[in-house]
Structure 1
Amino acid sequence: MDTWVLPAMLGLGLAAASGMRTFLPLLMLSAAVHFELFGISVGESMRWIGSTGALVALAIAAVVELGADLIPFVDNALSVIGNVTGPIAGVIAAWAAFSHLDPAMAALAGIIVGAPTALTFSAAQTGTRAVSTATTGGLANPVVSVIEDVLTFFTSLIAMILPLLIIPLLAALLWFSWRGWRRVRSLRTA
């Protein structure tokens, strides 16, 4: 990977995905490091993320998170909690992407890239969930949840396989979120 560009794209993509689901992007990163997939490796300071213990723990956490997000009212609580856990996971993912650098620079780059990106996507996800709950009484939330799961998976996968495509993908996701928000807002005023 290039010193800054490719790690930044990988970190950005994984952080954005962490804003939607906390554990799935970290699980995918852990599996990529553990099984040496997609040419992804991490520096010594983040080598733990590819350990068997981390892989198992993240798999359990991801399954619990994905399952709990399908339960009405629990999904809204997870969405609010995700506004804290998502940025933390985003920092960890971005830090891992930069871990070939000096450890202090990698941590700083992880914070600068990971936290705001994950928080942006977490806030958008929370807003989407609130609109879904308000407009359908929560009946559409499981469908919204599955769509978010798929988006999280593919965003993480694209970040690992084709990191240069992550900027257009994230721009498109934010644009669609903004359009949806405007549409709901115009319906509420009408």
Structure 2
Amino acid sequence: METWVLPALLGLGLAAASGFRTFLPLLMLSGAAHFSLFGIDLNSSFDWVGSTGAVVALTIATVVELLADLVPLIDNVLSVVGNVTRPIAAVIAAGAVFVHLDPATAAIAGIIIGAPTALAVSGAQTSFRGASTVGTAGIANPVISVIEDVVSFFVSLIALILPLLVPVLLGLLIWGIWRGYRRLRPRPSPQPS
């Protein structure tokens, strides 16, 4: 179980959180590894993720990303660009937590778990953001951005502390995104008779 299940659940949670924010889940993983929190260890080929330089760089990148996402129009650009950057971050985060695997297998596990999960969440987030922009003329986007920040933080935190809860959390997340999208999507106008 130590070799596959817990790292897979941890990687899945971090990948889902990366689907909302590129750098925040990586920063939390980096900080947990750097400060030896929650029993987090990294695969030897990913030790750089827990380095002081990575903590500093990820802190700066996270602050810039969180602030930029509050700016109208830039938030939509970040959502689209995130469809590329977020799966990459998810692959790094997911691969790094497979401590007991050789580096190549850990990287492959990171690709299998991280990329599709982050891409699915990021794609849903981009669609949701588009529906919000159309449905509210972008007025709700800063509020949605803060909610996404909080969700990314808590999904990462739960993945780091209790990875066994990740499947339940992801089920709730999917349900919440679906409900929010249905509420914000533009409704077809009635056809005149």
Q: TM-score range, shorter-chain basis?
A: over 0.9
SS in 2 for 1:39: coil
Letter in 2 for 1:149: D
Query: Where does residue 78 of structure 2 map in the other structure?
Result: 78
Query: Structure 2: where are the runs of 5+ without partners?
Result: none
The count of aligned residue pairs is 190
Query: Where does residue 49 of structure 1 map in the other structure?
Result: 49
Alignment of 1:13-162 (within 5 A): 13-162=13-162
TM-aligned CA deviation for residue 102 of structure 1: 1.1
TM-aligned CA deviation for residue 176 of structure 1: 1.8
TM-aligned CA deviation for residue 175 of structure 1: 1.5
TM-aligned CA deviation for residue 140 of structure 1: 0.7
Letter in 2 for 1:172: L
Instruction: Give distance in 1, aligned partners of 2:71 and 2:3.
Output: 42
Instruction: Give distance in 1, aligned partners of 2:82 and 2:8.
Output: 22
TM-aligned CA deviation for residue 98 of structure 1: 1.2
Instruction: Give distance in 2, aligned partners of 1:29 and 1:186.
Output: 38
Instruction: Give distance in 2, aligned partners of 1:106 and 1:91.
Output: 10
- CA displacement 1:107-145 (0-9 Å, x = unmatched): 110000000000011011101110110011111100000
Query: Where does residue 177 of structure 1 map in the other structure?
Result: 177
8 Å CA contact 1:19–1:117 kept in 2: the answer is: yes
- Distance change (3 Å), C-alpha of 1:185 and 1:57: closer
Taking structure 1 as the reference length, the TM-score comes to: 0.96
Instruction: Give distance in 2, aligned partners of 1:3 and 1:189.
Output: 54
Structure number with the higher helix fraction is: 1
Letter in 1 for 2:46: M
State the 4+ residue runs in structure 1 displaced beyond 6 angstroms.
none
8 Å CA contact 2:135–2:185 kept in 1: the answer is: no
Instruction: Give distance in 1, aligned partners of 2:119 and 2:131.
Output: 18
8 Å CA contact 1:42–1:100 kept in 2: the answer is: no
Instruction: Give distance in 2, aligned partners of 1:69 and 1:186.
Output: 23
Letter in 2 for 1:120: A
8 Å CA contact 2:132–2:184 kept in 1: the answer is: no
Instruction: Give distance in 1, aligned partners of 2:180 and 2:189.
Output: 14
Query: Structure 1: where are the runs of 5+ without partners?
Result: none
Letter in 1 for 2:152: T
Structure 1 or 2, whichever has the larger Rg, is 2
Instruction: Give distance in 2, aligned partners of 1:26 and 1:186.
Output: 34
TM-aligned CA deviation for residue 182 of structure 1: 3.4
Taking structure 2 as the reference length, the TM-score comes to: 0.94
Query: Where does residue 11 of structure 1 map in the other structure?
Result: 11
- Distance change (3 Å), C-alpha of 1:2 and 1:82: same
